[in-house]
């Protein structure tokens, strides 16, 4: 009997006042701004939503900003306690609001094709494939990224500004136009799209004159400022940005980069300990380790052709399709490098551990 997850096994939620970028179309995460005068009022909408999803047979992956976690953690604990279930995972992500909004929507886009544990694992993998940060006029109020006393003192000089990155690494440095291209910590695979937002469009000249030339995107989008942008960056004088690959195989490559093992208690795939659902700290057999020959960056596409839409994921193979046989006459056939497996393929299904038949927690579900 197959243990493959149904297409509707996972629901992605974002517990913060972080609107969608609209980059992946309608496949966005469910958002809960957690507004209200009391903890109960701020948590009630998500708790009701989580109860509905769990009773419908789905698991919930709830993302929230790690730098504003208190109310979100309480909401997740309320929902888990109300149902006495471990089918709700709360995951703090240390990203700026614009980058977190994009990652949440990308997870919602991939969720129908992956088991819940893989969706949770991708919350830490997807930021490694982005270049996200901001141009800052000052870092005197920045507390979410590491800064030095020298940088704080430099904030008072009228001609100094800064370039800060939160993904794939966290770092802050002075903006030196001649060194931007060589100093980028990561370059997404071409073609590249650039998303940006600012609360003050009158301050974007320094950003517009320097960063796009270094990243060389084929398409740019200016978005409304995120409500929590000033909270994260510690100033209203900023231009937030995210550069991402719009290659059709970009998300498939990110999903294929994860090495996952089955949780020894609940059986979900987990790429890091403890398990985001049941908090177990041990793993069983590996369930998905992509071969080295198949985990390759996607082939760069033509830089002159703008992407037609959000990154697409290939369709899974038809059920019952015959597997390719060995080469005739024992001769080894030369194969060209293959793209990473699609996130939609059923290769990440989890074989249920034998002790699950006697799982004592099943009596309370």
Question: 205 exposed, middle or buried (CB, 10 Å; 0-12, 13-18, 19+)?
Answer: exposed
Percent of the chain with pLDDT over 90: 65
In a 3-state reduction of DSSP, which class is residue 147? coil
pLDDT digits (tens, 9 = 90+) for 225-254: 999 999 999 999 999 999 999 999 999 999
41 close to 78: Cβ distance less than 8 angstroms: no
Cα dihedral across residues 273, 39, 19, 55: positive or negative: positive
The pLDDT of residue 269:
87
The pLDDT of residue 284:
63
Comparing 17-26, 192-201, 339-348, the range with the smallest average pLDDT is 339-348
Q: Which residue has the higher pLDDT, 27 or 219?
A: 219
Angle between helices 70-83 and 39-55 (to 10 degrees): 50
Angle between helices 116-125 and 97-110 (to 10 degrees): 150
Closest CA to 115 of 260, 14, 289: 260
pLDDT digits (tens, 9 = 90+) for 252-292: 999 988 888 889 888 888 888 899 999 888 776 566 544 43
Residue 95 — pLDDT band, cuts 50, 70, 90? very high
């Amino acid at each position: 009997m197959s243990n493959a997850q149904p297409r509707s096994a996972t629901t992605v939620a974002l517990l913060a006042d972080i609107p969608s970028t609209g980059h992946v179309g309608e496949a966005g995460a469910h958002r809960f701004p957690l507004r209200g005068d009391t903890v109960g009022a701020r948590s009630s909408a998500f708790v009701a939503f989580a109860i509905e999803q769990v009773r419908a047979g789905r698991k919930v992956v709830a993302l929230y900003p790690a730098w504003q976690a208190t109310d979100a953690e309480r909401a997740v604990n309320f929902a888990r306690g109300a149902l006495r279930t471990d089918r709700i995972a709360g995951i703090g992500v240390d990203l700026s609001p614009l980058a977190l909004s994009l990652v949440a929507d990308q997870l919602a886009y991939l969720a129908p094709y992956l088991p819940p544990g893989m969706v949770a694992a991708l919350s830490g993998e997807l930021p490694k494939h982005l270049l996200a940060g901001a141009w800052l006029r000052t870092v005197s109020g920045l507390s979410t990224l590491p800064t030095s006393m020298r940088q704080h003192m430099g904030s008072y000089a009228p001609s100094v500004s800064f370039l800060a990155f939160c993904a794939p690494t966290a770092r802050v440095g002075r903006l030196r136009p001649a060194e931007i291209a060589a100093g980028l910590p990561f370059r997404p695979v071409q073609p590249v799209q650039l998303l940006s937002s600012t609360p003050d469009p009158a301050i974007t000249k320094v950003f517009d004159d320097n960063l796009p030339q270094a990243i060389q995107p084929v398409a740019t989008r200016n978005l409304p400022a995120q409500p929590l942008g000033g909270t994260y960056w510690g100033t209203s004088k900023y231009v937030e940005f995210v550069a991402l690959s719009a290659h059709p195989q970009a998300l498939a490559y990110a999903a294929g980069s994860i090495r996952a093992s089955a949780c020894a208690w609940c059986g979900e795939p987990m790429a890091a300990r403890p398990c985001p659902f049941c908090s177990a700290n041990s793993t069983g057999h590996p369930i998905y380790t992509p071969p080295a020959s198949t985990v390759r960056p996607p082939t760069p596409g033509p830089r002159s052709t703008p992407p037609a839409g959000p990154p697409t994921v290939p369709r899974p193979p038809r059920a019952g399709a015959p597997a390719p046989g060995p080469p005739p006459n024992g001769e080894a056939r030369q194969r060209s490098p293959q793209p990473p497996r699609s996130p939609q393929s059923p290769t990440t299904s989890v074989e249920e551990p034998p002790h699950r038949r006697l799982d004592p927690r099943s009596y309370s579900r």
